[in-house]
Amino acid sequence: MLTSIESVQNPKIKSVVTLIEKSKERIDTKLFVVEGIREISLSLAAGYIPHSFFYLTNIHQYPANVFHLPQKLPCYCVSPAVYKKIAYRESTEGVVAVMHQKNHTLSNLTLSSNPLILVTEAVEKPGNIGAILRTADAAQVDAVLVCDKQCDIYNPNVIRASLGALFTSMVVTCSSSDAFDWLQQNGLAIYTAVIQDSTPYHLHNYTTNCAIVVGSETQGLSTVWRKAPCKAVHIPMRGAVDSLNVSVSAAIILFEALRQREVLNKMR
């Protein structure tokens, strides 16, 4: 169904803006906004169900044709002024989608025969979460557990910073205690990134079922992880500053795990 929208005061446009700006609206409606061909394509490939599309006719064709979707899907042709209202990127691609959220839970996670899990705790900034998800995608982890979340994972800035990697990994939000219990129940070794009472990260073996846990730069990891029977690791620092960005720390340890696994596979 195609409808033209010329006014920024249109109720549907106001609804999109509210979804972009208000976490509560995303939680209540179970909807979120995705902008751009790549991000929308990745979300559709991951099985996310579209709710509606908004697009500029001078840039794109009818979205149902572009994305091979049912013709009955609500699509709205909008004016440049209206599109500017709902687009949050400076370099726009002319298409915005409202999508239904997915409810990933620990109970419906599917693991590989030799899983590698990334766990984050209380990471606040959407940009950091997005960067972590990009790293998780590059390392092809089985899942990302976002514990004690400080930011809605469907925040547009998370999607933008992740370049759509939010949709390429299984992402579950849960409490740290639930995550720890689940990891133990599934027989995963747990490596926590902390400074105190730890050993260098590269001295450990990540070739078997394991999870890597990173915390916020300000608070580090909570006592859930500090007091648990985990293996504490740190990244040796050579300079005056004693910490790295959390997404960088996650990348360093994850790619050491990936390197070890690839070396082992070549030896078999």
Q: Which domains does the chain have, with CATH numbers?
A: 2-100 (3.30.1330.30), 106-267 (3.40.1280.10)
Nearest to 56 by CA among 33, 72, 73, 79: 79
Average pLDDT (198-227) is 94
Nearest to 47 by CA among 157, 168, 156: 168
Alpha-carbon distance of 170 to 231, in angstroms, equals: 24
Report in angstroms the alpha-carbon separations of 49 from 110, 166, 238.
Answer: 20, 15, 48
Question: Which range, of 172-176, 181-185, 195-199, averages the lowest pLDDT?
Answer: 195-199
Q: How many CB atoms lie within 10 A of CB 40?
A: 24
pLDDT of 1 reads: 55
- Predicted confidence band at 65 (pLDDT cuts at 50, 70, 90)? confident
pTM: 0.92
pLDDT of 180 reads: 97
